[in-house]
Amino acid sequence: MRNRRFNRALIATLLFFLGGQGALMAQEAVPASLSLEEAVRIGHRNSPLLQADLNNTEVADWNIKAAYGSLIPSATASSSFSWQGSGEQQFGSVTLTDPGFGNQPSYYFSSYRLGLSYTLDGRVLLALPQAKADREAQVAQGDASAAQVVFLVTQAYLDILRQEEALALARQELERAQGNLRLAQGQMEVGSGTPLDTRQAEVAVGRARVSVLVSENAVRTGKFRLAQQMGVDPQDGFGLATTFDLAEPLWTESDLISLALERNPSLRGLRASQKTQEYSVKMARSAYFPTLSFSAGTSGFAREASNPGLLVAQAQGASLGRIAQCEATNELYSRLADPLPAADCSQYLFTEAQRKSIVNRNNAFPFDFVRQPPSAAVSISIPIFQGRRRQRDLESARISEEDLRYQVRNSELVLKTDIASGLANLQTAYEAALIEEENQVWADEQHRLAQERYRLGSATFLELVEAETVKAGADRDRIAAIFAYHDALASLESVVGTSLRTP
For 25-39, give one letter per residue: b (16+ CB within 10 A) or e. eeeeebeeebebeeb
Residue 401, burial from CB neighbour count under 10 angstroms (0-12, 13-18, 19+): buried
Helix (H, G, I), strand (E, B), or coil: what is residue 96? coil
Among candidates 297, 296, 298, which has minimal Cα distance to 378?
Answer: 296
Q: How many residues does the chain have?
A: 503
In tens digits, the chain (503 residues) has pLDDT values of 434 443 444 444 443 444 444 433 345 778 899 999 999 999 999 999 899 888 888 889 999 999 999 889 999 999 999 988 877 666 555 565 555 555 677 888 999 999 999 999 888 889 999 999 999 989 988 998 999 999 999 999 999 999 999 999 999 889 888 888 888 888 787 777 778 878 888 888 899 899 999 999 999 999 999 999 999 999 888 999 988 888 889 999 999 999 999 999 999 999 999 999 999 999 899 888 999 999 999 999 998 888 888 788 888 888 888 888 998 988 888 888 788 888 888 888 888 888 888 888 888 888 888 899 999 999 999 888 877 888 898 999 999 999 999 999 999 999 999 999 999 999 999 999 999 999 989 988 888 888 788 777 777 777 877 888 888 888 889 899 999 999 999 999 999 988 887 65
Torsion from C-alpha of 11, 17, 19, 20, nearest 10 degrees? 160
- Nearest 5°: the CA angle 167, 169, 175 is 105
Does domain 27-67+124-290+387-496 sit in CATH 1.20.1600.10?
yes
pTM of the model: 0.71
User: Other CB atoms closer than 10 Å to residue 286's CB: what's the count?
Assistant: 17
Evaluate the CA torsion angle 264, 266, 270, 272 in order and state its sign. Answer: positive
Helix (H, G, I), strand (E, B), or coil: what is residue 404? helix
Cα separation, 121 vs 118, in Å, equals 10
Q: In this predicted structure, what is the pLDDT of residue 101?
A: 53
Cα separation, 473 vs 357, in Å, equals 113
For 183-215, the DSSP string reads: HHHHHHHTTSS-HHHHHHHHHHHHHHHHHHHHH
Q: In this predicted structure, what is the pLDDT of residue 186?
A: 83
- Nearest 5°: the CA angle 139, 141, 145 is 115
Cα separation, 495 vs 489, in Å, equals 10
415 Cβ neighbours under 8 A, 6+ residues apart: 257, 260, 261, 264, 267, 495
For 265-279, the DSSP string reads: HHHHHHHHHHHHHHH
Query: Phi-psi region for residue 351, left (φ > 0), alpha (ψ -120 to 50) or beta?
Result: beta
375, HSE (Cβ side, Cα atoms, 13 Å): 10
What are the residue ranges spanned by the domains of the chain?
27-67+124-290+387-496, 73-120+291-381
Q: In this predicted structure, what is the pLDDT of residue 387?
A: 79
